[in-house]
Structure 1
Amino acid sequence: MTTALSLATSRRSDGTRILTVTGEIDMSNAATFAAGLADAVDADGTPLVVDLTEVEYLDSAGLAALFPHAERIQLVVTPLLEPLLTISGLADLTTVHRP
């Protein structure tokens, strides 16, 4: 059974924007993820932290949504997703943190 995608935006006390993502990201909801990501990215160039620690599955459609924003996002991921970001080359284009 798949876990529904959920997106929530917030700000840290220092003003950093955070997009917290939970569930699974695949071709069935990648457009929703891409739209939420585009809405959360600040036009002023301030980095957006995308917290993927509660993402259980990320396919190529989800990765494709991240690439256009690579210069303006920082990712927080678990060891489950880290190899995928490395193999895809996304880890070379953006900052990747562990929780």
Structure 2
Amino acid sequence: MTTALSLVLQERPDGTRLLAASGEIDISNAADLAKALEGALEGAPEGSNGRVTLDLTAVDYLDSAGIAVLFDHADHLELAATPLLMPVLTVSGLGDLAPIRESD
């Protein structure tokens, strides 16, 4: 059974891309996240510095499969996360590879 995950890609006026995730990210849908990130990075405009902002502020759960996807794309990500996810992202070491901004 696949866990509910919504992924919405937006392009900002400055040319950067934002992928907003909501729900839970686990082994059942980590491939969907990977595919969405690859699509967002593939078509990123020149002005975006090749980075995509992944907004995790509406994500309630992130397991190791989701973290593995984030590591696979860390060189091209900026992350926005709530205090709930910050310990997971920090302990994993992801913050050493991708900027993480804490949001309320």
Global fold match (TM > 0.5):
yes
The share of aligned pairs that are identical, in percent, is 52
Q: 2:21, 2:63 → 1: CA distance?
A: 14
Distance of aligned partners of 1:89 and 1:77 in 2 relative to their CA distance in 1, 3 Å threshold: same
1:11 corresponding residue in structure 2? 11
Instruction: Give 2:93's aligned residue.
Output: 89
Q: Which 5+ residue runs of structure 2 have no aligned equivalent? A: none
Query: Cα deviations across residues 34-90 of structure 1 (Å, max 9, x unaligned)?
Result: 111111113865210000000000000000011111111100000000110111110
Matched length:
98
Are 1:64 and 2:90 an aligned pair? Answer: no
Q: What RMSD over aligned residues (CA atoms) do the two structures have, in Å?
A: 1.7
Paired letter, 1:36: A
The answer to which of 7-16 and 74-83 deviates more is: 7-16
TM-score normalised by the chain length of structure 1: 0.91
Is 1:77 matched up with 2:85? no
